[in-house]
Structure 1
Amino acid sequence: MRAILLAAAALVVATPAVAGSKLQGWVTTGDKSQLLAAQAPSSVASAETVAGLPVIAVDTKERHQTIVGFGAAITDASAWLIQNKLTPVKRDQLLRELYGRGEGGLGFSFTRITIGASDFSLDHYSLDDVPNGAADPKLEHFSLKRPQEYVFPTVRAALKINPDLKVMASPWSAPAWMKTTGSLVKGQLKPEAYPVYADFFARYVKEAAKVGVPTDYLSIQNEPDFEPDNYPGMRWNAKDRARFFGENLAPVFERQKITTKVLDWDHNWDHPEQPTTVLADPRARAFLAGVAWHCYAGDVSAQQPVTEANPDKEIFLTECSGGEWSPKFDDSFSWMVENLIIGATRGGARGVLMWNLALDEKFGPHAGGCGDCRGVLSIDSTSGAITRTQEYYAFGHASRFVKPGATRIGSPAKLGDLRTVAFQNRDGGRVLIVLNVGTQPATFAITESGRRFKASLPARAAGTFTW
């Protein structure tokens, strides 16, 4: 088993490089025969060599959004596994592989954590649980004890490896005493709780910062158009969210000089009218940094109209999970690359996140909710053995090469069976991600600024090319 794991890790040790006259390539195939495998570098090609081939024209003059990063959520479940099922040495090695850039690290630079419990927690709790259903308007029972156990230590370790890591925080529910149900499950926020909930968010941001966990981005409610029946959740309609942003959260953050960027929606592609309604409110719009999307319903194309209508706002894809509903490596790998790595960024996303960073061999631990979600990694709860899933490789094609501060540049969305997105890093290096969705190998030309290269991809394969 150890030999197999070492061999798998060896597939990702090549460090990306940029060379003026060389095309570097890394390929993952649907049959897993290549997993982020380095290709032999190729030199600039002559016009005769690429004559008649499909041409992927990369245009550095076409400039779009800058990139915050790619990554996955450090959920309670993920952090608990990392902290409890790995030896200190293996834990450090894994975090360096995920968040480092040297020696083939994935370079994850964006993550999400939960404010209180989600379905991927060991149990249900909030950061202000009060005995016997009493209220706590002065937040005297507010406590970071639970995230300090596993999540915050994992975030701090990741930040030590990658100081560029940006952290987003989202609650699945307000504390039970603030809600119409008196429970973390189902319900809405009581109107009289709006002011204290704004204070709650300010308290969280400031207290987390004191213990070394920044809140670069915040959403006020995970999936506000959904009330799950067996784990924390809270419905919150668009007009009421807009009112909370403008009348409650904005004044508190301004008064306390909190600079955390706040995102609306944090839910699926199928209801773009929800964030559009919030952004139509003048006070909410003035306060909000942008919009966060999830992948579970609708189509990635829903991002584009919202992005184009709000060019001053930041766009993110903040949750998507693979799972046993799509168990085949080639199918789910291809879907992730096409919709999240290519589609979401072409739709304006500055950052893209998977859901659980790590789950165990039984797709847990979890307390309600999804029973067959995959993590980016699987950590065996008995042996500590690590399995890298298709999501690991899909995201690695972007995160290892597209660095924070990179700019998305021009390339064709589709070219026959090829799907593409291109970036330019701050050091001038170009990065082109290409997916071949077809059943036949594809050979093509890449052109940019007078240079041309010849490249190829097997069927159902993705490649990252740098020069």
Structure 2
Amino acid sequence: MKIFKCSLVVILMFAVMSCNSEKNDNLKVEVYETSASGNKLTKITEHSEVDSAAVIKILPEQKFQTITGFGGSFTESSAYLLNKLSEKNRDTILQAYFSEDGANYSLTRTHIASCDFSLNNYTYAPVPDDMELKNFSIEEDREDLIPMIKDAMAISKDGFGIIASPWTAPPWMKDNKAYVGGKLLPEYYNVFALYFSKYLDAYKAEGIDIWGLTPVNEPHGNGNNWESMHFSPEEETDFVQNHLGPKLEADGKGEVNILGYDQNRDGLKEWVDVMFKDEASSKYFDGTAIHWYESTYDVFPKALQYAHNKAPNKYLIETEGCIDSEVPAWKDDSWYWKKEATDWGYDWREDEKKYLHPKYAPVNRYARDIIGCLNNWVDGWVDWNMVLNRQGGPNWFENWCAAPVIVDEEADEVYFTPLYYTMAHFSKYIRPGAEVIGVDNSAETLQVTAAKNPDGSIAVVVFNEGKEPKDFMLSLTEDSVKVSISAQAIQTIIIPSKLK
């Protein structure tokens, strides 16, 4: 009799589960996948038939940060290379980055005067002790950089924000009188603030509005290798609070967003404690900028959460990340999925921190980091160079790096690496104004984030770093759908605003 009762219960439970599965397995979705097996933002039309215990439940009632955007950086190196290509290939690349059919980049960055990814050192204020900056000129940008930005603007339907960063002040304003290293002398704080205002005016005259500024790229320096200038948290806060902020406000440019710091995440606590110490120090900071170079695998979630909690109404934007210290693989998609890349820390990091820099797969690093950032209050993520050549330059310091698009400028050939498609999984489908929403993920081997777009659609990004395909149930309220993701793959799943 006991056996009969148990069997009856099992039969009834199975019947209820089958009925519910048939009733609820009706979530309409569009699935796009990029994989090591060869998919490149490929639309997947056949869904899994496997009943998996893994469930990814979307929780739209849980709302987090509002997205500012995703994109890459306009550098002189990238712009120079575009001008070396045929008009057809140049347009193909710009369309791929900025059109609705392409990655549809919405947030970008550029450098103020020269950086390592310039052809040479230059400043907009070359005349020493020109305290009124009467000789200020952006002439160096007119041949390559400005045309690239303007052509991208002409392609972009929705437009995009630009964050501009100097790598250094003009050398004559610094204590070492050099492009590399040194500090801004206090007697030039007002002049450097004027330098920013002049830059904004000059670019506006070209029809280019700048959305945001950082006071300097990487204020800790870069080992005195290429253009740099050191600020402590106290010095930069003083500069913004008492010089840059008031100057922009007085010149009618108060709408331009100032993002402090602009370096690796491990230093966040020290910086946000000073920047957002009180109302006076916080007044002109609109947010914090961060980079990813402290580790090839660690997102530093605790640091990101601390920065958000310190200034919950301010921006937290990743302004630079790339596959650094590498000559990029040419037309070899498999390399970008293999743990063969090394970064600066693999060779140069002090022994006690070298563990942060193991070999890694470039796609894994991008996907893990962007998902991790979105799940820890970051609202914008900007890649570094959009275009580099087969050497990983040009770069006056020979600081070679990879980019999502690699070109052979001599042969007029273009290679869209898997990194391009990885970026597009976010930039194309998660739009400015989207809200990051909650996810209950029981699929322990999958990394997931989700955002609800202004049009009501929901974008769910899933990353499978493993060597085996995975099946899971994607659930939203009473509706669900069975999904399979390939081995070593990233998917964006779109849930339309109106279920069909």
Distance in 2, Cα, partners of 1:137 & 1:176: 13
Listed as ranges, the matches of 1:120-199 within 5 Å are 120-130=117-127, 134-162=128-156, 163-199=158-194
Deviates more, 1:251-260 or 1:407-416: 407-416
Match of 1:78 in 2: 78
Distance 1:445 1:21, change over 3 A: closer
Distance 1:160 1:414, change over 3 A: farther
Q: Deviations over 1:286-336 (max 9, x none)?
A: 111100110000542121221122111111011001143896311210121
Cα distance, 1:352 vs. partner? 0.6
Q: Secondary structure at the match of 2:29?
A: strand
Deviation at 1:276, TM superposition (A): 2.7
Q: How far, CA to CA, are the matches of 1:451 and 1:294 in structure 2?
A: 39
Would the alpha carbon gap of residues 30 and 414 (structure 1) be closer, same or farther in structure 2, given more than 3 Å must change? farther
The aligned amino acid for 1:280 is K
Q: Determine the structure 2 residue equivalent to 1:317.
A: 318
Give the whole-Å Cα distance in 2 for the aligned partners of 1:124 and 1:414: 52
CA contact (8 A) 2:71 2:383 kept: yes
1:100 aligns with 2:99: yes
Unaligned stretches of 5+ residues in structure 1: 1-19
- CA offset digits 1:328-367 (Å, max 9, x no partner): 311210121011x201121222211111110011111101
Letter in 1 for 2:161: K
| CA positional deviation for 1:22 | 2.2
User: When the two structures are superposed, what TM-score results if normalisation uses the length of structure 2?
Assistant: 0.83
Amino acid at match of 1:274: W
* Structure-2 separation of matches of 1:366 and 1:275: 32
For the Cα contact (< 8 Å) 1:126–1:175, is it kept in 2? yes
The structural deviation recorded for 1:277 is 1.9
Are the counterparts in 2 of residues 185 and 227 from structure 1 also a CA contact under 8 Å? no
1:383 aligns with 2:411: yes
CA displacement at 1:50 relative to structure 2: 6.9
1:335 matched to 2:334: no
Q: CA deviation at 1:73?
A: 0.7
Q: Which stretch shifts more, 113-122 or 296-305?
A: 296-305
The question of whether the paired residues in 1 share the 8 Å contact of 2:327 and 2:390 is answered with: no
Separation (CA, whole Å) in 1 of partners of 2:239 and 2:129: 20
Whether contact under 8 Å (2:55, 2:442) holds in the other structure is no
SS at match of 1:292: strand
Q: CA deviation at 1:387?
A: 0.7
Change (3 A) 1:125 1:401: same
Q: 1:458 Cα deviation (Å)?
A: 1.8
Amino acid at match of 1:400: K
Partner of 2:13: none
- 2: CA distance between counterparts of 1:86 and 1:143? 27
- 1:4 maps to none
Aligned to 1:265: 261
347, 351, 358: which is aligned to 2:380? Answer: 351
Say which one has the larger Rg.
Answer: 2
- Aligned pair partner of 1:292 in 289, 295, 305: 289
Matching residue's letter, 1:267: Q
**Contact kept? 2:125, 2:133, Cα under 8 Å:** yes
Between 276-285 and 286-295, the greater mean CA deviation after superposition: 276-285
CA distance in 1, matches of 2:151, 2:440: 39
Alpha-carbon distance change, 129 to 281 in structure 1, aligned in 2, over 3 angstroms: farther
**TM-score between both structures, scaled by the size of structure 1:** 0.89
Q: Distance in 2 between matches of 1:107 and 1:380?
A: 24
Q: Secondary structure at the match of 1:164?
A: coil
2:111 to 110, 114, 121: 114
- Per the alignment, residue 368 of structure 1 pairs with 397
More moved, 323-332 vs 342-351:
323-332
Between the aligned partners of 1:214 and 1:73, the Cα distance in structure 2 is 15
In the alignment, residue 256 of structure 2 is paired with which amino acid?
A: T
- 2:266 & 2:398 partners in 1: Cα distance? 20
Say if 1:124 and 1:231, in contact at 8 Å, map to a contact too.
Answer: no
Counterpart-to-counterpart distance in 2, 1:404 and 1:193: 37
CA distance in 2, matches of 1:248, 1:113: 22
Structural mapping, 1:64-75, within 5 Å: 64-75=64-75
- Distance change (3 Å), C-alpha of 1:269 and 1:414: farther
Gaps of 5+ in 2: 1-25, 330-334, 338-360, 496-500
Match of 2:424 in 1: 396
* Cα separation, 2, equivalents of 1:457 and 1:227: 40
Q: Secondary structure at the match of 2:382?
A: strand
TM superposition shift of 1:137: 0.6
Give the drift of 1:449.
2.2
Asked if the contact 2:320/2:382 (under 8 Å) is kept, the reply is yes
Do 2:261 and 2:290's aligned partners in 1 also have CA atoms closer than 8 Å? Answer: yes
Q: Is the 8 A contact 2:328 2:390 kept in 1?
A: no
Q: Which residue number in structure 1 is paired with residue 89 of structure 2?
A: 90
| Structure 2 SS opposite 1:408 | strand
The count of residues paired between Structure 1 and Structure 2 equals 434
Q: Which stretch shows the higher mean deviation, 295-304 or 390-399?
A: 295-304
Task: Decide whether the 8 Å contact of 1:50 with 1:445 is kept in 2.
Answer: no
**Given that residues 32 and 42 in structure 2 are in contact (C-alpha distance below 8 angstroms), is that contact kept between their aligned partners in structure 1?**
yes
Distance (whole Å) between structure 2 residues aligned to residue 59 and residue 286 of structure 1? 34
Letter paired with 1:194: Y
1:240 equivalenced with 2:227 (yes/no): no
Q: Aligned in 2, Cα 1:226/1:209: closer, same or farther, shift over 3 Å?
A: same
Contact 1:376–1:391, Cα closer than 8 Å, also in 2: yes
Where 1:287 maps in the other structure, the secondary structure is coil
1:403-442 paired onto structure 2 within 5 Å: 403-412=431-440, 415-442=443-470
Q: Structure 1 residues 249 and 414, CA, compared in 2 at 3 Å: closer, same or farther? A: farther
Match of 2:15 in 1: none
Give every structure 1 segment of 4 or more consecutive aligned residues whose post-TM-superposition deviation is greater than 4 Å.
Answer: 49-52
Residues 24, 41 of structure 1: 8 Å contact kept: no
Q: Does 1:304 align with 2:305?
A: yes
